[in-house]
Structure 1
Amino acid sequence: MILNESLTSLSGRVRLAPPSESDDAFFATVRCHPETRRYLPFFPAHCTPDDARARRLSREPNKAIVDFSIYALTPGSPPKYAGNTTLFNIDETFKTGETGACISPELFGQGIATDALHTVLTYAFEERKLHRVVFQTAAYNVRMRSWLERFGATLEGTLREGWADGEGGYMDGCLYSILEHEWRQNVKAKLEGRMDLGVRA
């Protein structure tokens, strides 16, 4: 599903935009980057702009998926492609969805993930009126797990050998969730406090 408009983060530092053809080469580079595949080893080792285009077009009609390109905004400079995020597995009956983000490794440590995920969670809970949003991450991805726990996501359990490891075997994943009342009561404020303080995630 494609939104008709972009979403700008509360800080004004990040914009989430509908993916376009001009993003395909950047998307492909981030998707198969060794640092991306370090925690998502089932991602392809090789991804071309044509692969990215085919993926983008195949997902556009799916109403259970809303994809975004992430752009970093700096005054006086053109927007810079910074990665991608998505709200997917959207179930309107149970008001649930799943999210995650891939940030360009060259932009790690600049707070882009915090801005992007705050923006997509605002969309999920306040625009789409979802009740529950989940995240999955590799069990060994300490950085992402710490980020989720810091902002109030709840660890629901380990997905034992739930992910392909990219080498013919399996690896453990971890499932986290945020409920709508948790978003309202503390998660949103914690994220915004991090953004307001200028501390980088």
Structure 2
Amino acid sequence: MDSSKSGFDESVKTNSVSIPSYLGRLRLRTHHDDDTASCASIFSDPFSRKHLLFLQPPNGWKNAEQQWTVEDFTDRVNVQKATRANGKSCVLNIILLASISGEETDRCIGTTGFVTIDNDIGYLGIISDHKTTRLGYATEALYTSIVFAFEKLGVKKIIMQTDELNEEMRGWCENTAGFKLDSKKPKELNGYSFIQYEYMFTLDEWNDSIKTRLEEKMNKIYKK
């Protein structure tokens, strides 16, 4: 990795992005129209968004049930396109390849990447179909997002934020990736109150240990 590169790659701002994952089971890509229905379903699923209740459509809920519609997710994609064009975000859909899943076609199983990029700090997140958990896809998707961020998005420091009650994500950050807990503090977003845990690591820390740690984890458990 060339750590001398700096700044958000201009080609990423307006061009489509498609990245093969570390183990080749997934592809991360900017949004395709045929991903929309899957994303809306995942964002509405109570298991997938159990600890992301603050997530709301940009233009507010269109139904009393607070379910994401195709129109809601289209609004979100349009906001993300605008912020990516300004070098302020880069969100990628997680595509499970049919050659791996045995399904008829490739399928969108979630989103990851950086909803916010503030100068050289990227805020990394993930939401995925709960039916695809515990198969290593999250580790593979997050690893791929991190590499892309350091190489193409001008990011030098990455922060992951999660609810104190999200033991699975906290466990991934602390035990799988070895991130350090930077802070924990009360937070309120869209009327939802929680204790936010914030994990932070730098490019140097990534190169020194975290990158190898995740690669060893994937090669040991999820090797092709």
Q: TM-score, normalised by structure 2?
A: 0.81
> Structure 1: which 4+ aligned runs deviate by more than 6 Å?
none
- Bigger drift between 139-148 and 50-59 goes to 50-59
User: Please, what is the CA RMSD of the aligned residues?
Assistant: 1.8
Rounded Cα–Cα distance in structure 2 between residues aligned with 1:188 and 1:81 = 25
- Report matched runs for 1:1-201 at 5 Å: 1-44=13-56, 45-62=66-83, 63-75=87-99, 77=103, 78-92=105-119, 95-150=120-175, 151-160=177-186, 162-164=187-189, 168=191, 170-199=193-222
Task: Give the drift of 1:126.
Answer: 2.5
| 1:16–1:68 contact (8 Å) kept in structure 2 | yes
Task: Give the drift of 1:90.
Answer: 1.4
Sequence identity (%): 26
- Bigger drift between 83-92 and 50-59 goes to 83-92
Structure 2 unaligned regions, length at least 5: 1-12, 57-65
Rounded Cα–Cα distance in structure 2 between residues aligned with 1:8 and 1:59 = 21
Question: 2:92 is aligned with what amino acid?
Answer: F
Rounded Cα–Cα distance in structure 2 between residues aligned with 1:41 and 1:88 = 16
Deviations 1:20-52 (A, max 9, x none): 211111111111110123111223431101111
Rounded Cα–Cα distance in structure 1 between residues aligned with 2:195 and 2:155 = 27
| 1:152–1:178 contact (8 Å) kept in structure 2 | no
Rounded Cα–Cα distance in structure 2 between residues aligned with 1:68 and 1:131 = 19
SS at match of 2:55: coil
- Bigger drift between 133-142 and 67-76 goes to 67-76
| 1:59–1:65 contact (8 Å) kept in structure 2 | yes
**Structure 1 residues 2, 17: closer, same or farther in 2, change over 3 A?**
farther
Q: TM-score, normalised by structure 1?
A: 0.90
Rounded Cα–Cα distance in structure 2 between residues aligned with 1:29 and 1:163 = 25
SS at match of 2:165: coil
Task: Give the drift of 1:192.
Answer: 0.8
| 1:29–1:47 contact (8 Å) kept in structure 2 | yes
SS at match of 1:52: helix
Rounded Cα–Cα distance in structure 2 between residues aligned with 1:123 and 1:49 = 28
**Structure 1 residues 192, 3: closer, same or farther in 2, change over 3 A?**
farther
